[in-house]
Amino acid sequence: VTASDDIAISGVVAAITGTGQGGDINISSEGSIQAGQVRTDGGIGGLARLAARGDVQLESILAEGIDLGGFVVVNSREGDITVTGPIQTGSDNTDMTTVNFGRRTVPDPRLLGTVDIAGTASIQLGDVDASGIIEDPSVREVNINSRGGDITVGNIQAGSNDTGGLNDSGGFVDVASGGGRVVVGNINTQGPDGAGRVNVNAGTGTAIVGTVQADSLQTGGQVDIAAEGNVQVGDINAQGTALSGGQVNVFSDGDIVVDTVQTSSAQVAGDVDIASIGTVQLIEIDAQGGTAAGRVDVHSEDESVTVQNIVATSAQVGGVVDIGTPLDIQVGSIDTTGTDSGGSV
């Protein structure tokens, strides 16, 4: 559907029952787009692409698949983007080796299950579910970007369900605004072999995030959260149980409040870098490593630092903990014990 003016429709359905592939949906307008539910789900989800010069207002977008999820692209050149309900491109399948493609047309497998939302003004979305069995940590599984407005999103799921050994990594989540604040619920990029990367950036506003689960049985994912304003985050888990923890970076020109940060691993723990101009408050940082603990840096340029507990111990080499501020430092306990070599504070 293409129009030179506004488009208003109650809904669009190109879904298919059974194992077939959902049809492609392409809607383009030089005005605004207003629609109810957009559906292209099936055995393999289809493509849902909506582009407008003005506002885009939708109830939900369903492109999930029994075997493989589809992909969603929404962009507005000048208006707001609002999706009040869920965006779903996920799949419940747990083993890629069981998928029978037959004669179905499948795009670049790295695009399956992806969500790409881009605009220049505000973006308001419900929950986003892009979890599935084909995940590539080098590809933005969920990309939500505004050049100049606030972004508000529910929970984001981009983890991997695959137990068949094809690609067991979580997807890459990128939420960034160049001119507003960013508010996100919980973010999940877990995967059996590796967690996906998480990037949240509020260029000129605050960043508020629920919990971040970027942990894995093997390698934890990197977590980057930055804002020109304040940063407020719940728990950040980048644990890599068997191999290595992910690196966690939180930067702010304002204040930082984080509950807990975990980058531990049975081998090499991930590093933690927390830096702000304002105050820093954390409950606990756990950077324990079997062979090497992670390095922990917590700094405030102008205000105080408060951390209840820091653990950077190791069975071999303890970690380095560096806390810096021109004002007060309040720390409950710091442990950098290493059996072979202790760390430093």
The SS3 call for residue 110 is: helix
Taking residues 290-303, report their average pLDDT.
97
Containing 68, the helix (H) or strand (E) segment is strand 65-68
- Among 242, 250, 231, residue whose Cα is nearest residue 268: 242
The SS3 call for residue 88 is: strand
**Tokens of residue 92, six digits:** 């419940």
Spatial contact of 304 and 310, defined as CB atoms under 8 Å apart = no
Lowest mean pLDDT among 42-51, 130-139, 237-246: 130-139
Looking at residue 137, its pLDDT comes to: 54
Lowest mean pLDDT among 38-42, 107-111, 204-208: 107-111
Residue 192's alpha-carbon distances to 60, 167, 202, 226, in angstroms, are 30, 9, 30, 27
Most confident stretch, 83-87, 98-102, 138-142, 156-160: 83-87
Which stretches of 127-193 are DSSP H helices? none
d(CA 299, CA 324): 5
Looking at residue 104, its pLDDT comes to: 43
Looking at residue 341, its pLDDT comes to: 79
Lowest mean pLDDT among 30-34, 254-258, 315-319: 315-319
Looking at residue 69, its pLDDT comes to: 74
Tell me the β-bridge partners of 297. 273, 322
Residue 62 CA neighbour count, 13 Å, CB half: 17
d(CA 257, CA 42): 42
d(CA 6, CA 220): 45
pLDDT over 50 at 97, yes or no: no
Looking at residue 343, its pLDDT comes to: 78
**Confidence at 92, pLDDT banded by 50, 70, 90:** low
Taking residues 325-344, report their average pLDDT.
90
Instruction: Give the DSSP letter of residue 286.
Output: E
Residue 242 CA neighbour count, 13 Å, CB half: 8
Contacts from 328-336 at CB under 8 Å and sequence distance 24+? 328/304, 329/304, 329/305, 330/304, 330/305, 330/306, 331/305, 331/306, 331/307, 332/307, 332/308, 333/308, 333/309, 334/310, 335/310, 335/311, 336/293, 336/312
**Confidence at 101, pLDDT banded by 50, 70, 90:** very low
**Tokens of residue 272, six digits:** 């933690």
Taking residues 207-220, report their average pLDDT.
96
pLDDT over 70 at 139, yes or no: no
